[in-house]
Amino acid sequence: MADQTQPWAERTVEVPPQPGVGVPPQRDAFRPGVASVGRPRTPRTEQFPTVGADEHTWNEPAEPRRPMSWHLAQLRQGREWSMAGALFAFVCWGIWAISGRGDLGAPLLTFVLSLLVAVGLFALSRLIGRVIWERQLGRVRRGARGAHLVTAVFLVGVGVAYLQQTEWVVSVWNFVTGN
């Protein structure tokens, strides 16, 4: 038996030779100084999602990153709806502002704020479309037509509200409809 006063790392145990157990046979392609690798593994068939080092979400299949011009082209699709709504709101605002016969500073501020709300509504529509249409339903958006349409409906409503505040337009409307 080994001396117990030696540290454990320096102790060796003698094993008597056993019949049938020996050095494994060498492979045909043995070369000194080159590690034996063995047969290649087959890749796993199941893939698990991984979390990136700097992200806290599941990695999606990598899509090629699209240039900014592609994103801007997506935003332009359907812009005629927003432009038509903005034109209608501008004409109605002009009728309302001129009929007031006063300073145009406050009406101009009102119109600019209405346009800023329309821009915010457009951004909110795009965000909701991304969450529902792309993430939940798994569809691909092919433009911004829906968001432009929602914005146009809002701007037409703003224009109608301006007309409802104009006395002579309300009088003409009541005359035409017979109220």
State pLDDT tens for residues 14-42: 777 777 676 666 556 667 777 766 666 66
Whether 47 shows a pLDDT value over 70: the answer reads no
**Which residue is associated with the tokens 């829906």?**
146
CA distance 31 to 9: 32
Task: Please state the pTM of the whole predicted model.
Answer: 0.58
CA distance 123 to 118: 9
Residue 5, SS3 per DSSP: coil
* Domain extents in the chain: 78-177
- Which residue reads 């063995």 in tokens? 38
Nearest to 86 by CA among 107, 109, 116: 116
- pLDDT at position 1 is 55
pLDDT number for residue 61 = 58
Q: What is the share, in percent, of the chain residues with pLDDT greater than 90?
A: 25
Q: How many residues does the chain have?
A: 179
